[in-house]
Amino acid sequence: MKRLALLALVGACGGNAVFHLTAPDNDREALSAALAQRQLPVQASPVNSAHVPRVFVLEVGMGPKKTIVAYDLAASSILWRQDADVQSRIWVGGNFVVELESKQLVARDQQTGAVKWNTSVPGEFIGASADGDRAYLVWKEDAHTWWLAAYDGSSGKQLWKADADGVLGAPAAHGGVVYAPYNAQWLSIIDGRTGKPLARIRGIDEQISVIRTTSRDAYYGSTQGVFELDGKSSSGKRADSSYGQIIVPPQLDHTTYGRDAYDPVQLAYTAADRSRILFATTEGMKLANDGYAVHYFRYVFGFDLKGALTWAYSNPRVELVASEDSGAAILAMSSTGELVALDPKNGGVRLQRNIGTTAPVLGATFDADGWSPPAQGERVETVKALVSIARDHDARFDRVKEFAVRALAQRPGGEVTKELLGVLADARAPQKLKDVVVDLLVARKDPASLSVLAEQLATHDDFLLQTTPLALGPVARAIAGLGGAKLDPAVVATTLAALQSHLDAPTTQVADLVFVIDAMAAIGGGKERPALGSHLLLYHADDDLGTDVAWGRAIVVALETHGGPGERELLRQVAADPRTKPDLVAVIRDALALD
């Protein structure tokens, strides 16, 4: 009896070797029992006891302190504001929130913000979490010992603690269990009430460094992919688990599935919170809403199941510092306190409202699982968002701009072409982006864009108007790409006239002239021949143009390939003219297969 009492004391107050290398893992039965023990809501809902959607925002405060702003999403009102020396993220429990202040884990009443209890962190703070009834804390005691402890959410009384002889990461919790990552390879599932180890998963072909919980689901994995915690997890292998890898465009680099549980920096709100993959799943790791989203600083992109961009959102002026997929909406908070809710299916903006912060927002924790503002037939303005991204002058996002213009170019229509041309006209746009746009314009082959391209040709070198043609070569190349397409004859005539104006313009550079000739030949249908013939005659003996091989090849090919007998006779006569430059003669002879 005395011995039993001693064991019980150890279990309540000291280490009981929950974490060690040789503990059993990937036990199917143990895992099933652990999962069954979770007390999860039937439907996704906020964790807080009132089940009211809330967001807890941390803003810059006076002096070294910061301010926590608790906001009721459903009522659109601030619950409370409290100044505090917050040094971590905020974790949401039933009727409390916890965060780190100085060396104390502090719990605050979720209705008032008043301090309910606090407890010293006995070592280096590694992380915390909470569920309806308890708060959990992980700290590092010395170079070899880590601890996980549970505290009663109402009183702050320590319920149990467990030591580890290897590295523990930041925990996560829901439904009465706590998930503790261990040595980057294991995920222990612990009974939150007793501290009893329920099951342990060992990642066989992937590290476990990321844990994300919603009210009903738990995900774990790494930067490579993510597992849904279910009965299959006992395999420890990707192939036999509910596992997913989401395609993220390379331009949105450093995007992650969740916080790195082993990165001490991410204990606080950081830039890592601004590049996040946002997803929700149905059973068997199937993506809900037919896709997923990526939050990338000011932007949110929606993708379909094949990884193709379906929508985009660009937040005006400032970055989104926090985001969450509630399953019903993509929720985000901007650095100026703007709350944004997007339709996860099409990016429609359901809500965009300032919550009334008074200082820059550092980060936020949403407790709004399953919540969304009501849909009101909001407009989806993906093209506008992509244009806004492409025109963003923030040099940090040059690769995102490239992604945006590529996505833009996938969409048909003259308006899109006009916007792409607008990027070329932007003096502050990076040259690399312009090069991408040029390639996209050429590859676009969109007949509906011909009139827009022709309009672009209206500008010439003009001393009085102080104008110069914009992207003449690329525009001509884009027009040339339309050769063979079904085009409006009236638009072709207009375009041909515009191209000829550049063919005849004295200041058109040879490099551009070549593309102008190509374009005229590609769409002219024979109507371009007199102008091209005249052009050849004008310059066949010219000391400058006549010696340019690229020009010679362009004009000769245009007349030989697209011309008739008259044009070929003209070429023969030019080749026979003793004044014709030798290189040009060679090109003609080659084209006509003359001896």
Partner 1 sequence: MWVLPFACACASVASGAPATRPAKVTKADKATAGIDALALALSGADEEAAAKAATALGELADPAAHDALLDGLAFGLRTPVAVEALLGLSKHPAPPDVSSFKRYAGHHNPSVRGTAIAALAKYPDPAAHAVVVQGLHDTAGVVRNAAADAASKGHMREAIEPLLALLARGEESAARALAAMADADLVRKIGDQLGRVPDASLALCLGLVLRRPDFGPDTERVEVVRAIAKITDQSAVSALTDYLDATPKNPPRPSRTEAEKVVEARLSGGAK
| CB of 330 or CB of 584, closer to partner 1 | 584
Stretch that binds partner 1, among 222-230, 301-309, 370-378, 500-508 (CB under 8 A): 500-508
Q: Assess 472 for contact with partner 1 (CB under 8 A).
A: no
User: Token pair of 105, please?
Assistant: 């884990």
Token output for 83: 């100044």
For 416-485, the DSSP string reads HHHHHHHHHH-TTS-HHHHHHHHHHHHHH--GGGHHHHHHHTT---BTTTTB--SSHHHHHHHHHTTTTS
Contact criterion met (CB below 8 Å) for 554 and 518: yes
For residue 266, the Cα-to-chain-centroid distance in whole angstroms is 19
Q: Does 450 participate in binding partner 1 (rule CB under 8 A)? A: no
Select 428 or 579, whichever has its Cβ closest to partner 1.
579
Q: In the complex, what is the shortest distance from the CB of residue 545 to partner 1, in angstroms, rounded to a whole number?
A: 6
Candidates 62, 464, 490, 593; binder of partner 1 (CB under 8 A) is: 464
Q: Which is nearer to partner 1, 440 or 513 (CB)?
A: 513
- The sign of the CA dihedral 25, 28, 31, 33 is negative
Site map 527..566 versus partner 1, x via CB under 8 A: ---xx-xx-xxxxxxxxxx---------------------
Work out how close the CB of 465 gets to partner 1 at its nearest, in angstroms, rounded to a whole number.
7
Least distance from partner 1 to the Cβ atom of residue 577, Å? 6
Q: How many whole angstroms separate alpha carbon 201 and alpha carbon 233?
A: 7
3-state secondary structure of 513: helix
Yes or no: say if 446 and 417 are a contact pair by the CB < 8 Å rule.
Answer: yes
Looking at this protein, which amino acid is placed at residue 166? G
The answer to the question of residue 505 lying near partner 1 (CB under 8 A) is: yes
Size of the site for partner 1 (CB under 8 A): 30
Q: How far is CA 469 from CA 56, 249, 383, 544, 550, in A?
A: 53, 34, 26, 22, 21
Is 463 an interacting residue with respect to partner 1 (CB under 8 A)? yes
CA–CA distance, 570 with 557 (Å, rounded to integer): 13
The minimum distance between CB 525 and partner 1, in angstroms, equals: 15
Using DSSP's 3-state secondary structure scheme, residue 385 falls into: helix
The rounded Cα 521 to chain-centroid distance in angstroms is 42
Q: How far is the CB of 589 from partner 1 (least distance, A)?
A: 15
Q: Is 573 in the site for partner 1 (CB under 8 A)?
A: yes
**Helix then strand then coil, % of the chain, to nearest 5:** 30, 30, 40
From 100-108, 130-138, 415-423, 571-579, give the range in contact with partner 1 by CB under 8 A.
571-579
3-state secondary structure string, 357-371? CCCCEEEEEEECCCC
Among 2, 578, 582, 593, binds partner 1 (CB under 8 A): 578
Cβ-based nearer residue to partner 1, 389 or 536:
536
Report, in Å, the least distance between residue 305 CB and partner 1.
55
CB of 530 to partner 1, least distance (A): 6
CB-wise, 379 or 463, nearer to partner 1? 463
Q: Which of 63, 489, 506, 565 binds partner 1 (CB under 8 A)?
A: 506
Shortest CB 536 distance to partner 1, Å: 8
Binding residues (CB under 8 A) for partner 1: these are 461-465, 504-507, 530-531, 533-534, 536-545, 569-570, 573, 576-579
